[in-house]
Amino acid sequence: MISNPSRAASFGFPSRKQAWRWLIPLMLAGLFLTTLIWLPLHEKQQEASERQEQLIADSLWVEQTIRFQLQRNEESLNLMASEIITGYLNGPRLQERMANLIRNNHEIHRIIELDANGKLITSTDETLITKNELSAPSKRADERARATQTPMYSQPAADISGPVMFDYHVPLFVDNKYTGSIIASYLASSILDDMVPWWFAQDNEIALTDINDTIIHKRASGGAGRGVYTHRRALNLSGVSLQLSTNSTKSAPKLLPSLLVDTVILLALGLTWSLTALWRDINRRLAAETALREQIAFRTAMENSLITGLRARDLDGRVTYVNPAFSQMVGIAAEEIVGHLPPMPYWAPEAMSEYQRRFSHVVAGTVTPQGFETIFQHADGRRIPVLIFESPLVDDTGKQTGWMGSILDISDRKRVEDLNRQQQEKLQASARLATMGEIASTLAHELNQPLAAISSYTTGALNLLASEQPKEATINIEMLTQALEKANAQAQRAGQIIRSVHTFVKKREPMRTAISISELIGSVTPLVELQAQQYFVTIKVDIPAALPAVLADQVLLEQVLLNLTRNGIESMQSVAPEKRILRIAAAIDPATPRNVVVSISDQGHGIASEVAERLYSPFFSTKADGMGMGLSICRTAIEFHGGTLTHVDNRGGGTIFRFSLPALQNNLIATTMRADRA
């Protein structure tokens, strides 16, 4: 055994370092040869796989094309069946529709119509008219379609006229009674000849087979298939299962041409790469620099064109960036804002505490992405309402470096909201005037009673004074006092009615006060009774004594009650007199004990489902002379108080309208304690 490397080299044995010098090139050469042998084999296998995948993809496309066309035909036939059932298609019109369908879809050979007894009514095939006979599979399919009441295909079979066909049966039912069928016949040859594109048929042999691989029809425009690349695709139809078999005319790829082509390509690519590597690197660098400059210019132009203000702050709250829109919004140059810590020059003095609180959230990192409204102060002193969205500012490594804010000037939106509120108030006032106009005649009758009583009492007092002789008798002061007191009471009653109407119709700002539900309903009951007297409707009121008060505008709620009660009274015009009962009730909402719910129940004609969908829509009314704003205004008024307005069907007939209002918390607690003690 030779242990000395120098002595081994002297005897002709290579040293360890020299062995590695020879081994590495040999390994590289072996790797190159292995790659040179493996690459053509791999390319051949890959080419075969690509051809097979391409065949599968093309077969799927052809199958979907055939299926899509058959589905279109099915939809047309089903539509034709529906129109036959409704009586729209018959006679010449039906024959014209059949002819148009066959003219536009060459795969359909004929269309026929059978009656309930299987007798031929209409056909586009003269041969079938004379022989009046279907194939056995077609008859079985017609029986199955009739039994299941669903369209169905028949098994392919030779027709009496010769070619192989399969039929699509659409049964006709009127009120679950079979009245006949519509049958469309497809030529098996047309499925392949008319629906398969020429470019696919040129490279493949296509066959239509059944589930037993029995060939129904074959198309071989490009020649017989080689059996190398094949695929089968099920053409599932209702009632019959067919297969679309494809057999490519291409043979397996060869090894030698692939090896030569690959060698030339590799040499050409290596030479091209060696000459263009430096040029490509320089162009890429120049293109990257140009793209970077364009991107920076585009982003700068985009930020300068925004009407939304942008503001960036670091983790300490220092402003690091503002766009021109923000500077224009507050009237302060960007140089005077960037780099500053709060307080900011655009902060309004009256909102300083809110700014400090939100700034503490920014420093603490607890800013939420939800928007909030506040005000900014313009350089000229104007107050600007704004909507601010804050979100974390993250760099390309995912680390948060600050906060990014989007500021929207919502001055226009505030003006629109104020205008809408004013218009809504005007609309409510107009609705109140319209309501009072509808009960004006009854109100005049009601005022006539106290005025007539006043006239009677004053006439009696005058008669009493005239009948007494001052020199001979004493005036009856007691009778005169009673007459004048009664006249005064009637005058006060008339004045109260006039004041109630004036308060109801005058335009004013909404004002919320603590209101008792019983007093609210009591104040509007006289006006409701005036409307009820015209239609002989009985009013029943059920208000618990311990019901909590609500914080609301009394006039708005009176308008809601008058609208809902008027609708209920008018809905009972055509019902029996004993059913003309309008119920007004109030109670604690069992689902939400913090709310008080008021319900108005009538026993009228009810509300149809198609009307209920649009019941609260503005300008929608079922009355010939209605404005369509009553229920819309009612819902707006209730939602203004934080409540909801709904309706349900009354079990005894008619409708129940309910609206809920939040109860005053102190009254609600007291009511609950009294209920617990009871």
DSSP E strands, 370-482: 372-377, 383-394, 400-409
- In this prediction, residue 265 has a pLDDT band, given cuts at 50, 70 and 90, of low
Cβ neighbours, 10 Å, residue 235: 18
- In this prediction, residue 621 has a pLDDT band, given cuts at 50, 70 and 90, of low
* Spatial separation of the C-alpha atoms in residues 188 and 216, rounded to whole Å: 7
Which of 203-217, 505-519, 564-578 has the lowest average pLDDT?
Answer: 505-519
Q: What is the pLDDT of residue 170?
A: 93
Q: Could you tell me which residues are beta bridge partners of residue 56?
A: none
Q: Which residue has the tokens 């489902």?
A: 609
Task: Judge if 306-409 and 410-509 fold alike in CATH terms.
Answer: no
- In this prediction, residue 118 has a pLDDT band, given cuts at 50, 70 and 90, of confident
DSSP E strands, 56-213: 108-115, 120-123, 152-153, 157-158, 164-174, 177-187, 204-210
Q: What is the pLDDT of residues 413-458, one digit of tens each?
A: 777 767 766 666 666 556 555 555 555 544 554 565 566 556 656 7
Strands 108-115 and 120-123: antiparallel
Q: In this structure, which CATH number among 3.40.50.970, 3.40.47.10, 3.40.190.10, 3.30.450.20 belongs to the domain 306-409?
A: 3.30.450.20
Count of H helices and E strands in the chain? 18, 22
Express as a percent the part of the chain with pLDDT over 70.
71
Q: In this structure, which CATH number among 3.40.718.10, 3.10.150.10, 3.30.450.20, 3.50.30.50 belongs to the domain 56-194?
A: 3.30.450.20
More confident site: 112 or 353: 112
Query: Which DSSP state fits 215?
Result: E
Mean confidence (pLDDT) of the chain: 76
- In this prediction, residue 601 has a pLDDT band, given cuts at 50, 70 and 90, of very high
Q: Which residue has the tokens 């603490």?
A: 364
Q: What is the pLDDT of residues 306-355, one digit of tens each?
A: 677 888 888 777 888 888 878 888 888 878 888 888 778 888 887 777 77
Sequence ranges of the domains in the chain:
56-194, 306-409, 410-509, 511-677
- In this prediction, residue 1 has a pLDDT band, given cuts at 50, 70 and 90, of very low
Residues in CB range of 15: below 8 A, 6 or more apart = 5, 8, 9
The average pLDDT across 180-200 equals 86
Q: What is the pLDDT of residue 628?
A: 47
Is it true that domain 511-677 has CATH number 3.30.565.10?
Answer: yes
- In this prediction, residue 24 has a pLDDT band, given cuts at 50, 70 and 90, of low
Q: What is the pLDDT of residue 27?
A: 74
- In this prediction, residue 223 has a pLDDT band, given cuts at 50, 70 and 90, of confident
DSSP E strands, 33-140: 108-115, 120-123
* Spatial separation of the C-alpha atoms in residues 123 and 113, rounded to whole Å: 6
pTM: 0.37
Q: What is the pLDDT of residue 586?
A: 92
Cβ-contact 615, 647 below 8 angstroms? yes
Strands 309-314 and 319-322: antiparallel
Q: In this structure, which CATH number among 2.40.50, 1.10.287, 1.25.40, 3.30.530 belongs to the domain 410-509?
A: 1.10.287
Q: Could you tell me which residues are beta bridge partners of residue 233?
A: 244
